[in-house]
Structure 1
């Protein structure tokens, strides 16, 4: 679970920097709430949930094309990051497998040493009784 959150955080930081947030602003006028409370809207806030009410808020063909290019490029970057993450996970699994096999080999060697010690102790006990 931690690995998936880690790569999501990496992707979020790559795509949601302050320079990328204010690329497209769909609002040209402050909201009604901002007018009523005398707040000025921040320039890099993108309001995607409000419906456009003014005719100047219609996007031109160039804006739509820029949106599509950005979406495709971000998708490309996300796929590349995901491929890198998958290869990293495979490498980690390989290294962990090597470590586990080494640990198992050491544990078996210790168990064999204990068994040999136990056999020699029992053999002494049997020879001492006779």
Structure 2
């Protein structure tokens, strides 16, 4: 219950503190065939805000739904990124274990080769001493 309330507060904060109010869009069309009253007001003004443009195309409920969907998709993307980041850390841990195991095996094999080389050299030295 606590987690869902925190999520809802986060969504409210993100949607109410929208940074789209500062975006200014210049007028691009001068056509007079507008069906909506807010569209006519937009065309009369030289510049309009993003919120006014959204209200001209969508209803307030549509804008609210779009904002909620954007916040929720952002939340899902951040959660997926955190899961991916933890997965990458886990993969690095497993690969580190595998590399340490491989290096331990390689070191053991090299040590065995060095011991064998010492025995061969000793046998060669002992064999040359008996010949003379």
Give the structure-2-normalised TM-score. Answer: 0.56
Unaligned runs of 5+ in 1: 1-50
Change (3 A) 1:128 1:54: farther
Indicate yes or no: 2:61 matched with 1:58.
Answer: no
Shift of 1:108: 0.3
CA distance in 2 between partners of 1:127 and 1:120 (Å): 10
**Which residue is 1:111 aligned to?**
110
**Which residue is 1:98 aligned to?**
97
Shift of 1:54: 5.1
Unaligned runs of 5+ in 2: 1-28, 37-55
Indicate yes or no: 2:84 matched with 1:72.
Answer: no
Bigger RCO (CA 8 Å, 6+ sep): 1
Question: Higher helix fraction: Structure 1 or Structure 2?
Answer: 2
Secondary structure of 2:58's counterpart equals coil
CA distance in 1 between partners of 2:34 and 2:115 (Å): 88
**Which residue is 2:83 aligned to?**
84
RMSD (Å), alpha carbons: 1.7
Question: Higher strand fraction: Structure 1 or Structure 2?
Answer: 2
Shift of 1:55: 3.5
Larger of the two Rg values belongs to structure: 2
Give the structure-1-normalised TM-score. Answer: 0.57
Shift of 1:58: 1.9
CA distance in 2 between partners of 1:94 and 1:76 (Å): 27
